[in-house]
A and B are shown apart, each in its own frame.
Chain A
């Protein structure tokens, strides 16, 4: 296996987003191609510069990426559709990164998009008996893990609510977020119970949306000044013994996993990048449900197990704190278009490292990390540096 740190450097030349929200009268190829045009413009490149496309989505169906490219221009380049649940966008990004690092292509586009389906969704993350038993309620699966986390660490439901309050506060500074109104701790704690102990405002909203990134080798960059390099991009899928209830697995009692997938993907990324968690100036963690942000920042190494609630309360994860987390409001404010989410997180880190995040700008960050989870399970970590 080739040593990634010895391969050529890969840069993000441009990113493109569309506002997160509900696109009643548009299809995934409409706003998916808008994200492509925005990324090309940002990279100062032409469509015929692009040599390959990796396009992530979950529910858009066969050849959905091809439908996007039909709106941009069919040039004969290979298009590969990537379905990796909620880490589809970051998995597409990783493939684009590897293609350039391995010197197979010089300029590649990664896209993530989703128009969330209405009505019954046949979830393939669960077996038929699990669906019939009602085990596919993701709020309840996270609630179960939250109960275990509370039991082990002494965390409270108010601690989870503080994640929502922080992220909705950040989201109010993000013109692309679906929810741009802050909420109070009381409002979270008084919102409707969905799956005990989690309430409606502990859960992220769904949304439609798309994100794209143009990646290239150094010699193809139009502007070195705004370019950001990829220091590591890892993906860890399930390991034996670790229970992840959002895809129907529970812990093995006899043979528990030594390390879970979040820690494994983070440790591998830190080793490749040559940086540790202490070097990260800005972070995007996966907050589909509020408590998940707490155990994720612990598993990513930003504090020890059980310490995240205290650090959150002290403001460590605020935009002006030591380790700002989910500066764009996270999934909690932005909403969660499954296939786009991972790439949306990546776009926020790029925006922050460029110093273009406006009112939510972190003070002069040099290195940042994006983490996304997905049913399967998957955990992907991407580290960027200025």
Chain B
């Protein structure tokens, strides 16, 4: 049976909010420590803060805006067969306005345009089609 409907599924559950509400309202979900203020992404399973060593983590959403801290464009397939996305691809670090650095994939019309300190924002984008015909989406950061 051929179906024109594709199901959209996230690469991982619980990484971002509002999957179906469009990109502008979507936020990454992390943890914030009410004692020391440190922020973590992805959200920690336990409420234990690995910085100040107290059980004081709370769920939080993160800013969808930041600046590129580092990046690299990968020209070959990663080893191990875990990665099912396109090649070449780009990943690196983004410093979010909240004061947390996160590791992320980048989305760009042309990876040559990526630069350190460039303004980027969160997008939820197609990553690959899985073997069941589902569209797997993941979070990326894209130049503004």
Residue ranges of A at the interface with B (Cβ–Cβ < 8 Å) = 120-123, 128-137, 139-141, 143-145, 147-148, 151, 192-198, 240-241, 243, 245, 248, 250-255
Contacts and interface: CB of A to CB of B under 8 A. Distances in A.
Given A130-B103, A132-B11, A240-B51, A137 B78 contact: yes
Nearest to B105: A133
B93 A250 contact: yes
Interface of B: 11-12, 15, 36-39, 42, 50-51, 69-76, 78-85, 89, 91-93, 95, 99-103, 105, 116, 138
Closest 9 CB pairs of A and B: A143-B72, A131-B82, A134-B83, A144-B70, A140-B72, A196-B73, A120-B80, A250-B101, A195-B72
Nearest to A152: B116
A240 B72 CA distance: 24
Given A250-B103, A254-B37, A147 B92 contact: yes
Contact of B75 (A151, A193, A241, A245): A193
Given A133-B138, A140-B91, A195-B72, A250 B105 contact: no
Contacts of A128: 82
11 contacts: A129-B11, A133-B103, A134-B74, A140-B91, A147-B72, A194-B75, A240-B51, A250-B102, A253-B101, A254-B99, A255-B38
Given A134-B78, A136-B79, A240-B51, A253 B72 contact: no
A236 to B, nearest CB: 18
A254 B82 contact: no
A252 B12 contact: no
B115 to A, nearest CB: 10
Contacts of A250: 93, 101-103
B116 A147 contact: yes
B75 A196 contact: yes
Which has the most chain B C-beta neighbours within 10 Å: A241, A243, A248? A243
A196 B111 CA distance: 10
Given A120-B80, A151-B116, A253-B100, A134 B38 contact: no
B142 to A, nearest CB: 16
Nearest to A249: B103
A245 B82 contact: no
B101 A147 contact: no
Given A141-B72, A243-B93, 16 more contacts: A131-B80, A132-B11, A134-B78, A134-B83, A134-B91, A137-B78, A148-B70, A193-B75, A194-B75, A195-B76, A196-B75, A240-B50, A252-B38, A252-B51, A254-B99, A255-B38
Contacts of B95: 253
Given A136-B80, A144-B92, A147-B70, A245 B11 contact: no
Given A132-B84, A136-B80, A151-B116, A144 B72 contact: yes
B101 A252 contact: yes
Contacts of B91: 133-135, 140, 144
A144 B71 contact: yes
Contacts of A198: 72
B65 to A, nearest CB: 14
Given A135-B91, A147-B71, A243 B101 contact: yes
Contact of B103 (A121, A135, A139): A135
Which has the most chain B C-beta neighbours within 10 Å: A121, A133, A143, A254? A133
Contacts of A148: 69-70, 116
A251 B101 CA distance: 7
